[in-house]
Structure 1
Amino acid sequence: MEDHGTPPLLTLPSELIHHVLSYLPLSDLISIGTVNRALHDHSLQDTLWRPLVQANVHGVNLTHPHNSTWREVFKTHHPYWFIPKNKIWFADNTHTGKLLIARYNPSTNAIEGFALGAERRQPTFTTWDWNPEAIIHTFSPRIQLDLNAPIIRLDANAYARAVGESPNRLQKELPMDLYNEPAHATAGLYSRLMLTRPWPQHIIGKNTPVWPPLRLPSTVRTRNDSASQFRGLDHRPSKIQELSNKTFRIRKWMEFSSRASGISMRVGEDITTWATLPEECYTPTAQKPWQGIWCGDYAGHGCEFLAVIQPDNPEPLPERAEWVMRARERTGSVSSSESWSTAPMEATSDDESSSGMSMSSISQDAELEDSVESENGSTYRGRIEAIKLTGDPNIPRGEYTFIAPDIGPNGLVRVATEDMFKGARIVKSVGHIAARGFREDDFMASQLILISHDRLAQYWETFGHVSFYQRVNLDEFTKVS
């Protein structure tokens, strides 16, 4: 047999071989370890595995794990690293939803997830010089993680206790010890995490029950309805290539047990599907400075979280929002008594409205455009839309809360000169309204006030009310103290 000798790669010094291997993704690093014993030994070099762990951890510069190796840490949580890597997750709970911050805790070697909540502090009333009749309350929310009630805790114990009929570990449910019930308790809460499969894009239609909803930008969605409560194995991946790294599910229930009979009864089972957003759609840039996760003031409903997005190729406006915007064009004024404050219940052709834009209105628009000639044109362009990640009984999670179709010259209302919003660009927008239970939803004429890149306001013209929105600093909550 011909002797080919030592492969050229293995003639290199170990330091160079490790440097070459450091560029390999996980799948290739594992594959090269199966070539021969020498490469297998090189692939086990612990310094190769630290970057694989660190790449999934935000806000913490990891130090060497205690009583373990980086490879063991990575292996323990594989393939669940996508949960802390994606950082923010939002649920499909009916109406309200829930927002979660996921992170890795090196001190406990656990993946954790906590609900992000906001408290609407006692507001004070203030007066708006431009419209003294408007109702304006201050907004300074207290945003914090609920560290007392974790939603996710994945550790070695959870993986060891995985349950399910299938021998495939990807199809098992992970019991999460979240509630620390004493051993003698006759009732307890239970929670399990399940992996999901992505639903094929080509069969997703307007009415397909998927999460996240279609109006949120995502390339991966999964079904969020099941007659079997997602017990069928076809809902879960059987191999890594089938795993959705943008969605997962949590099954939760209460269980009562009888000490006398030893019989347990499960009640109130609830399943939530969780999804994340592509980081690039909520990360601000020089051209899209308002993108991000925001907290909004919804008065009696308290605080809600929303994704503010500046899409490159926005979808057409909802039909009723389009009617409101067209009505403004016909009247030439956002506050004219002849304009529609909400969309008409029946379609009306454009020629049914005889009111046109007055010469004075055209002149005012020209003056406004002249006043902002020096502004950065690449910043004030395109659409800003806000979609609720958490919601209320009127406008639930996953629905638009406001849309400003054009923050450029075509959407400009004015540049504020009054002290409260001095220098802020004010643009035409629409706000989403509905009766309780999301009935008879409609859009109302409003004005979006671009106070700063971290603060927005919306003037609801018919209500005569101004509501505020404040950016959430996600980095503040991904750090583990």
Structure 2
Amino acid sequence: MGLVSSHTKQENAANNTPPLTNLPAEIIYNILSFLPPISLGAVAQTCRLLSEHAYDDKLWQAIVHSNLPATTLKTAAPSPSFRHLYLSHLPYWFLPKHKIWFSDTQATGKLLIARYSPSRQTIEAYTVTASRGTSTFKFWKWNPEVVIHTFEPTVRLDLNQSLLRLRPRDISSSSGALTSEIYMQAETPMRSYRTHQNGHQPDKNRGLPEGAKEAIHARRFLGEPGSRTTETAVTDAEENPAAESQLPGQINSWPGSETTVAPIITQGDIYTPKEDDCNEDRIYRGQLLAVKLTGDTNIPRGEYTFIAPDIGKDGTVRIANEEMFKGARIVTSVGHIAARGYREDQYIPSQLILISHDTIAQYWETFGHISFYKRVDIDSLISAD
């Protein structure tokens, strides 16, 4: 019978120890910081040492902040930890992460801002509203027959009525699955989306399917809970800034009409200028287009507002020298008009006056007037109370 010394047992145990666990705590933390939440949770199930590292709340604080691009939380309170906070709203963090959503409400649509409210511990979505503000008019010195309608809009969230409110689920309960209750206005719960389009149940560890992270479907009940006779449905989709290079959230006003929202999209080679860059040939190039996220009684959402085929030297009319637009590049474009109800729509000649990164003016040649587009600071709306 052979004898095995305690020294040999210690050597074998040392040889079986994963190299990862022998690393300094700082390096393990750095490695774990690159893992997505699901992988981090899987690491926590491997051994006690990695569980302690994976439960480090600084890791979960970073995960929460990665889904709140315009918000910084110094504390998870009233949640006991950032990990607890993250799990209590799983899998709906994609809503505040994408921030900007637009809905298919009738022809006009709605622009929504999704955000997390620390005081209420809820993920909420509110409608963006805009009022024209005080409007005056003046005549254009370059062409005195043209009327300039000034535009100073007031943009805010309709905080009186949330379109969507997600309350934290009780993660201490084993019956809580991965869905949380969704409260619409009168806090009537709706069924969450938990299946792929082909109908099979997804792996519970994978969260929502990718398609469900780009759109949500909400039902609003206007009568008694459970009644389907007074039900209206709204589908909301994210505005994807990765599709094109955009100047997001431009508010436009046409005299005598509703205020609408249109992202300004550039197509072609994209160049991001530095503050001291004076090479206009690199800054101004390609197409410039505006698409309505919200519509009006004449032109519905999803339609072009204007199209400028080339904002480079080939499409430039002139550089303005009159006081109001001095130094602005003026380019050829067409503007989209239609009769009420989107009848007899057509594109008519216009010119875009590229005043700054925050303001664009449009000269409607046929009508003899100038209207404006103003950039909206989305992040300021997210932090508004």
TM superposition score category, shorter chain reference? 0.7 to 0.9
Contact conserved, 1:176 with 1:193, CA < 8 A, in 2?
Answer: no
Matched, 1:113 2:125: yes
Aligned partner letter, 2:137: F
Partner of 1:243: 210
**CA-to-partner distance for each residue in 1:11-55, whole Å, 9 max, x for gaps?**
234343223212222232122223334323332222221100011
What is the deviation of 1:268? Answer: 2.9
Change (3 A) 1:174 1:249: farther
Matched position secondary structure for 1:255: coil
> Match for residue 222 of structure 2?
254
Contact 1:194-1:250 within 8 A present in 2 as well = no
SS at match of 1:52: helix
**Which moved further from structure 2: 245-254 or 399-408?**
245-254
TM (norm. structure 1) is 0.68
**What fraction of aligned residue pairs are identical, expressed as a percent?**
42
Q: Secondary structure at the match of 1:147?
A: strand
Is the CA contact 2:169–2:176 (under 8 Å) kept in the aligned structure 1?
no
Distance in 1 (alpha carbons) for counterparts of 2:201 and 2:317: 51
Structure whose residues are more often strand by fraction: 2
Matches within 5 A, 1:183-222: 190=188, 192=190, 194-195=192-193
Report the secondary structure of 2:324's partner residue.
helix
TM-score by length of 2: 0.84
Pairing 1:264-275 to 2, within 5 Å after superposition: 265-275=227-237
Q: Does 1:277 align with 2:277?
A: no
Q: Which residue identity is paired with 1:46?
A: D
Is residue 42 of structure 2 the alignment partner of residue 31 of structure 1?
yes
Answer yes or no: is the 8 Å Cα contact 1:198–1:243 preserved in 2: no
Is the CA contact (8 Å cut-off) linking 2:162 and 2:184 kept in structure 1?
Answer: no
Distance 1:303 1:56 in 2: 30
| Residue 377 (structure 1) shift | 0.9
Cα distance change on mapping 1:452 and 1:198 into 2, 3 Å: farther
Change (3 A) 1:39 1:277: same
Which of 3, 6, 16 is the equivalent residue of 2:27? Answer: 16
How many Å separate the matches in 2 of 1:81 and 1:46?
18
Separation in structure 2 between the aligned mates of residue 301 and residue 175 of structure 1, nearest angstrom: 35
Paired with 2:351 and 2:115, the residues of 1 have a C-alpha distance of 37
Say yes or no: does 1:298 pair with 2:310: no
Equivalent pairs counted in the alignment come to 362
Distance in 2 (alpha carbons) for counterparts of 1:126 and 1:407: 27
**Post-superposition shift, 1:301?**
2.3
Q: Counterpart of 1:6 in structure 2: which amino acid?
A: T
* Partner Cα distance (1:306, 1:395) in 2: 12
In 2, Cα distance between the equivalents of 1:235 and 1:147?
38
CA contact (8 A) 1:22 1:48 kept: yes
**Cα distance in structure 2, aligned partners of 1:298 and 1:428:** 19
Paired residue for 2:86? 74
Amino acid of the residue matched to residue 428 of structure 1?
T
Contact 1:384–1:406 (CA<8 Å) still a contact in 2?
yes
Query: Residues 381 and 6 (structure 1 numbering): CA distance in 2 closer, same or farther, change over 3 Å?
Result: same
- Distance, in Å, in 1 between the alignment partners of 2:41 and 2:92 is 17
Distance 1:467 1:144 in 2: 21
Q: 1:132 aligned to 2:100? A: no
Secondary structure in 2 aligned to 1:248?
strand
RMSD: 3.1
Are the aligned partners of 1:249 and 1:274 in contact in 2 as well (CA < 8 Å)? yes
1:153 counterpart (133, 148, 165): 165
Which consecutive aligned stretches of 4+ in structure 1 deviate over 6 angstroms post-superposition?
196-199, 235-238
Structure 1 residues 474 and 197: CA distance shift in structure 2, 3 A: farther
Q: Which runs of 5+ in 1 are unaligned?
A: 161-166, 181-189, 200-232, 258-263, 285-290, 315-373
